[in-house]
Amino acid sequence: MHKNFKNIDHVTFGRGCFHQLAQTLLPIRHLNKKYCVFIIDAYFKNHPLAFTPQAEDAVFYIDVNTHEPTTQQVDELRDTLLNQKGLPSGVIGIGGGSIMDIAKAVSLMLTNPGSAVAYQGLNLIKNPGVYHLGVPTISGTGAEVSMTAVLTGPEKKLGLKCDWTVFNQVLLDPELIATVPKDWWFYTGMDTYIHCIESRFGQKNNAFSLAYGDQALSLCRAVYLGPQSGQNAENDDRLMVASLMGGLSLTYSEVGVCHALSYGLSKIKGTRHCIANCIIFQHLEDYYPLGVSEFKSMCKHHNIELPQHLSASWTETDISQMAEVSYQLPFMWEHALGENYRTLAGLEHIKSLFRRL
Amino acid sequence: MHKNFKNIDHVTFGRGCFHQLAQTLLPIRHLNKKYCVFIIDAYFKNHPLAFTPQAEDAVFYIDVNTHEPTTQQVDELRDTLLNQKGLPSGVIGIGGGSIMDIAKAVSLMLTNPGSAVAYQGLNLIKNPGVYHLGVPTISGTGAEVSMTAVLTGPEKKLGLKCDWTVFNQVLLDPELIATVPKDWWFYTGMDTYIHCIESRFGQKNNAFSLAYGDQALSLCRAVYLGPQSGQNAENDDRLMVASLMGGLSLTYSEVGVCHALSYGLSKIKGTRHCIANCIIFQHLEDYYPLGVSEFKSMCKHHNIELPQHLSASWTETDISQMAEVSYQLPFMWEHALGENYRTLAGLEHIKSLFRRL
């Protein structure tokens, strides 16, 4: 069985297209209780966006620096909305991957009873969500195009994954990523780079995922290593396309060792996804020799100093817990290592990988 | 204003995925009068496909060798269906670009009164069509992903172009293109190559169209010039992705001189689209020097002999009529030549281009 994947319904790409937001929402504003929910990265509280919500809208500025999106956070947002205003016309996420995931998850949880915890997994959602629109302001995670809203719950870090998770609309405006601080510009862009490397050097590729992944890699190379590398308008354009294409490359492929470990690190230590990937990837030369070598050149080129010797302060319990989370992601390990993955990456081996950090 | 483009809702890519057709149709079979319409290239009448329609379905084998799709043909198909069986659950096109266009157009005309002639243009369609699914069996035109169903009418060769034209579903099975005769494999693949060259060397590019177009060009080079060039399984995979990506590259760009002339040639002489492009492109060194040079290498590499000296047998009236059709495509000329296109490509100049053929 080949996957039948759901596309984003509508995509607008272009410098300044964020100004089309109000107009883009017009056709859905009559739906349900006739108000929109804006879920916005708290950064924009002090850096106002060129957009004015309508009087009836609900606006939440969310600080995503302290922790990754949680099931509890999504449940609470949903309860607040339904209790105070009823079912909205649409949910609009403006921010990075965490905000994209919260917006996607809230859209789904507005129409599915109970806690998001019950829906962590594939196709567990029963009802379509409300209309949801994503506006990425940091590029790299691919959350704007994926069918997953990754949430950390009491037991698992695992996505709400189904066709209805996919955005109805995205506005891809490269002008919005111009002000991303350099370190996050690097970590987040490297999420695309790393998942394209993991996608390429694994078992599940086909021509579709290779074509998308290779083009995303080529764009990352231009942005982070090319003669005009760095944060500039042309590279902001490229990085935004790389993020989209990197996400699409995963449609018929899978992430690998780095992401499997990264989920463990984030779940137990709360480390945010993109920097967790970078912290881990630097130590995976034996799995991805070319990718790690190029990644290190990129770090050097942009004077990025990644945290080292983290595991020195971790307890055995920490490491066991991280390894347990990581071990529970067999599709990533199988893609990376083949059918024999349980022999090649048992719990003890996974612990040894965490001790590298 | 940046274009807000409509994606195909669902995409399945993979060798053998055509076997998933019956299952893919299950969720829509209860709609309307509970039957499906299959519009299939007549080639498959003698080369049966691995699929059995249900007893209630309507199956049309259509010969697309004699002429390009016409408004009259679409109107007649629609009238036959509505008179005999009522509104179908879905329309399934199985074939090359012409069949894709007929399926898309029939889907729209089933719910829009009058002749297709009245809807040739942008956003003239009033009502969404019925569910439509495309299965390409020749790759290159990008018709599987475009928002246009190109039809030749009594006055114009022009598409029914709107969001609802886009397929609800495509099944991209590279095994289906393995048996394409070599000359058509070449001409049709060159449609992607040519529109990517036209897209790239014009005014309207952005990072999105460049990324898609460049990757499609890179795939075309592997298929037609690479060390493993030619018709083989790996290249069939690549060509199918190239066609999709080439089509998507046009979302934020435009075709150019070759397509503008090609529409004139096809309208007046009935020459099919992909070979018309090849006949013309070989003579456009002054517009696309690198592209035409590489195109000629591809012709040579595959022993493709293109028709020459066609214009010797054309009357002045023929040439004037072709030039008139071509002149009426200002968006293509403007993309290719810039604002000053009317000075650079007036009617007399366009006639001189047709005399090159």
Among A3, A169, A172, whose Cβ lies nearest the Cβ of B12? Answer: A3
Identify all chain A residues contacting B13, using CB atoms and an 8 Å cutoff. 2, 206-208, 252
Sheet of B90-95, strand order? A4-6, B10-13, B169-172, B131-136, B90-95, B36-41, B58-62
- Kindly give, in sequence order, each residue whose CB lies less than 8 Å from that of residue A129, ignoring residues fewer than 6 positions away: A91, A104, A107, A108, A109, A110, A111, A112, A164, A165
Helix axes A182-200, A233-249, angle to 10 degrees: 30
- CB within 8 Å: B206 and A10: no
- Going from N- to C-terminal start, the domains of chain A cover 10-177, 182-355
Residue with the two structure tokens 């529409």: B263
| Chain A closest-CA separation from residue B55 CA (Å) | 26
Distance from the Cα of A5 to chain B's closest Cα (Å) equals 5
Distance (Å, rounded) from C-alpha B232 to C-alpha B15? 13
Is A211 in Cβ contact with B214 (below 8 Å)?
Answer: no
| pLDDT confidence tier of residue A157, bands split at 50, 70 and 90 | confident
Nearest to A211 among B3, B8, B241 (CB): B241
CB under 8 Å to B241, separation ≥6 — which residues? A207, A208, A211, B13, B172, B216, B219
From chain B, the residues in CB contact with A252 under 8 A are 13-14
Strands A157-161 and B157-161: unpaired
Q: What's the first-to-final CA gap in chain B, in angstroms?
A: 38
Nearest-CA distance from B20 to chain A in Å?
A: 8
Three-state SS sequence of chain B:
CCCEEECCCEEEECCCHHHHHHHHHHHHCCCCCCCEEEEEEHHHHCCCCCCCCCCCCEEEEECCCCCCCEHHHHHHHHHHHHHHCCCCCEEEEEECHHHHHHHHHHHHHCCCCCCHHHHCEECCCCCCCCEEEEEECCCCCCCCCCCEEEEECCCCEEEEECHHHCCCEEEECHHHHCCCCHHHHHHHHHHHHHHHHHHHCCCCCCHHHHHHHHHHHHHHHHHHCCCCCCCCHHHHHHHHHHHHHHHHHHHHCCCCHHHHHHHHHHHHHCCCHHHHHHHHHCCCCCCCHHHHHHHHHHHHHCCCCCCCCHHHHCCHHHHHHHHHHHHCCHHHHHHHHCCCHHHHCCHHHHHHHHHCC
The closest CB to that of B6, out of A10, A215, A241, belongs to: A10
Residue B79: partners with Cβ closer than 8 Å, 6 or more residues away: none
Q: Any idea what DSSP says for residue A230? A: S
Q: Is the pLDDT of residue A345 over 90?
A: yes
How many A/B residue pairs have CB atoms within 8 Å? 105
- pLDDT at B329 (0 to 100): 93
What mean pLDDT is predicted for residues A204-221? 97
Which pLDDT value is given to residue A68? Answer: 84
List chain B residues with CB under 8 Å of A10: 4-7, 163
Report chain B (357 residues): mean pLDDT per 10 consecutive residues: 96 97 97 98 92 95 90 98 98 97 98 97 96 97 94 88 97 96 96 97 95 98 96 98 97 96 94 96 98 98 97 97 95 96 97 98
pLDDT single digits (tens) A57-77: 999 999 998 888 999 999 999
DSSP string, A88-117: -SEEEEEESHHHHHHHHHHHHHTSS-S-GG
B8–A207 C-beta distance less than 8 A: no
Helix axes A289-301, A182-200, angle to 10 degrees: 170
Average pLDDT over residues A151-157: 87
8 Å CB contact between A286 and A337:
no
> Nearest CA to CA, how far is A299 from chain B (Å)?
24
Q: Which amino acid is at B322?
A: M
Cα dihedral sign, A109-A113-A118-A123 = negative
Structure tokens at B187: 């001409």
ipTM of the complex: 0.95
Q: What are phi and psi of A354, to 5 degrees?
A: -65, -30
The matching CATH number, chosen from 3.40.640.10, 3.40.50.300, 3.40.50.1970, 3.30.460.80, for B10-177 is 3.40.50.1970
Residues of A with CB under 8 A from a CB of B: 1-17, 20, 24, 163, 169, 172, 174, 206-208, 211-212, 214-215, 218-219, 234, 237-238, 240-242, 245, 252
pLDDT at residue B155, as a whole number: 84
CA distance A106 to A306: 33
CATH class given for the domain over B182-355:
mainly alpha
Question: Whose structure tokens read 């950090």?
Answer: A357
Distance CA B100, CA A138 (A): 38
Residue of B nearest to A170 (CA): B4
Task: For residue A220, give the chain B residue with the closest CA.
Answer: B211
The rounded distance, in Å, linking the Cα atoms of B177 and B139 is 7
Angle, CA of B7, B9 and B11, to the nearest 5°: 100
A245 chain-B contacts, CB cut-off 8 A: 211
Please state, in angstroms and rounded to a whole number, the distance separating the CA atoms of residues B76 and B65.
Answer: 18
Instruction: Give the pLDDT mean for A49-56.
Output: 93
The tokens for A108 are 């789904």
How distant, in Å, are the alpha carbons of A70, B101, B352, B357 from that of B193?
47, 20, 24, 20
C-alpha to C-alpha distance for A144 and A138, rounded to whole angstroms: 10
Lay out the sheet containing B4-6: strands in order across. A58-62, A36-41, A90-95, A131-136, A169-172, A10-13, B4-6
B206 to A237: CB separation less than 8 angstroms, yes or no: yes
In the sheet that holds A157-161, the strands lie side by side as A121-122, A157-161, A148-152
Residue A158: the pLDDT is: 87
Q: How far is B133 from chain A (nearest CA, A)?
A: 13
Q: Predicted confidence band at A170 (pLDDT cuts at 50, 70, 90)?
A: very high
Closest partner CB to B207 (pick from A3, A5, A238): A238
Residues of B with CB under 8 A from a CB of A: 1-17, 20, 24, 163, 169, 172, 174, 206-208, 211-212, 214-215, 218-219, 234, 237-238, 240-242, 245, 252
H and E: helices and strands count for chain A:
13, 10
Matching residue, tokens 């590019």: B205
Threshold 0.90, pTM exceeds:
yes
Contact between B6 and A3 using a beta-carbon 8 Å cutoff: no
* pLDDT for B157: 81
The two tokens of residue A23 are 């107009």
DSSP, res A218: H
Beta bridge partners of B159: B150
Rounded distance between C-alpha atoms, residue B263 and residue B271, angstroms: 9
DSSP at A12: E
Q: How far is it, in rounded angstroms, from Cα B191 to Cα A69?
A: 46
For B7, which of A9, A214, A240 is closest by C-beta distance? A9
Given this model, what pLDDT does residue A348 score? 97
Q: Which chain A positions have a beta carbon within 8 Å of B214's beta carbon? A: 215, 218
Asked if the Cβ–Cβ distance from B2 to A12 is below 8 Å, we say: yes
Whole-angstrom CA distances from B64 to A273, B32, B50, B167 are 52, 29, 21, 20
Q: What is the pLDDT of residue A65?
A: 86
CA atoms within 13 A on the CB side of B196: 32
State the maximum Cα–Cα separation within chain B, in Å, rounded to a whole number. 59
Residue A70 is given by DSSP the state: B
Residue of B nearest to A12 (CA): B4
Of the candidates A8, A10, A206, the beta carbon closest to that of B13 is on A206
pLDDT score of A155: 84
B205-238 burial code (b ≥16 CB/10 A, e <16): bbbbbbbbbbbbbbbbbbbbeeeeeebeeebbbb
User: Which of A57, A49, A131, A56 lies closest to A94 in space, CA to CA?
Assistant: A49
Q: How far is B212 from chain A (nearest CA, A)?
A: 8
Residue A6: per-residue pLDDT: 97
- Torsion-angle region of B123 (φ positive above 0: left; ψ -120 to 50: alpha; else: beta): left
- The burial of A41, by beta-carbon neighbours within 10 Å (0-12 exposed, 13-18 middle, 19 or more buried), is given as buried
Nearest to A11 among B7, B174, B215 (CB): B7
Q: How far apart are CA B105 and CA B166, in angstroms?
A: 10
Please give the single-letter amino acid code of residue A121.
Answer: G
CB contact under 8 A, B5 and A16: no
Residue A117 to residue B204: CA distance in whole angstroms: 46
- Assess whether pLDDT exceeds 90 at residue A156: no
Closest CA to A323 of A333, A337, A334, A308: A333
pLDDT confidence of residue A7: 97
In Å, how far is A213's CA from the nearest CA of chain B? 10
CA dihedral of A320, A324, A330, A333, whole degrees rounded to 10 = -20
What is the per-residue pLDDT across A35-47, written as a single tens digit (0 to 9) for each?
Answer: 999 999 999 999 9
